[in-house]
Amino acid sequence: MTVLLAGKAIYDVLKEKGNFKMYLEAADRTLYSSVLKGSGNYTVFAPNDDAFKKYLTENGYTSVEAIPVDELTKIIGYSLVYNKFEAAHLVML
């Protein structure tokens, strides 16, 4: 789990982490890109590149670019929660 500092865009944090390239590529193809690049009171449960690769394989896609935009919009939208959750309140399984 990544704990983020206030004032830094989640897009930038995920980019720095280096293993969320596919998620960010997906976000860039949707209107959610501006949300992730801005500030706000939300939590992001972003799938990493390994999870995206599994999704691509299981759904017969060769790349993020092959996924229809409406499907990407759902993926990115479902990963956002419009409230701030502190790491201490989240249960890790």
Task: Specify if 88 maps to a domain.
Answer: no
Other CB atoms within a 10 A radius of the CB of residue 92 amount to 5
Task: Specify if 18 maps to a domain.
Answer: yes
Our count of domains for the chain comes to 1
Q: What is the CA radius of gyration of the chain?
A: 13
Q: Per residue in 72-81, pLDDT tens?
A: 999 999 999 8
Residue 34: domain span:
10-82
The pTM (predicted TM-score) of the whole model is 0.82
Would you give the DSSP letter of residue 68?
Answer: -
Closest CA to 64 of 39, 10, 27, 19: 27
Task: Specify if 2 maps to a domain.
Answer: no
Q: Per residue in 16-66, pLDDT tens?
A: 999 999 999 999 999 999 999 988 777 889 999 999 999 999 999 999 999
Task: Specify if 92 maps to a domain.
Answer: no
Task: Specify if 59 maps to a domain.
Answer: yes
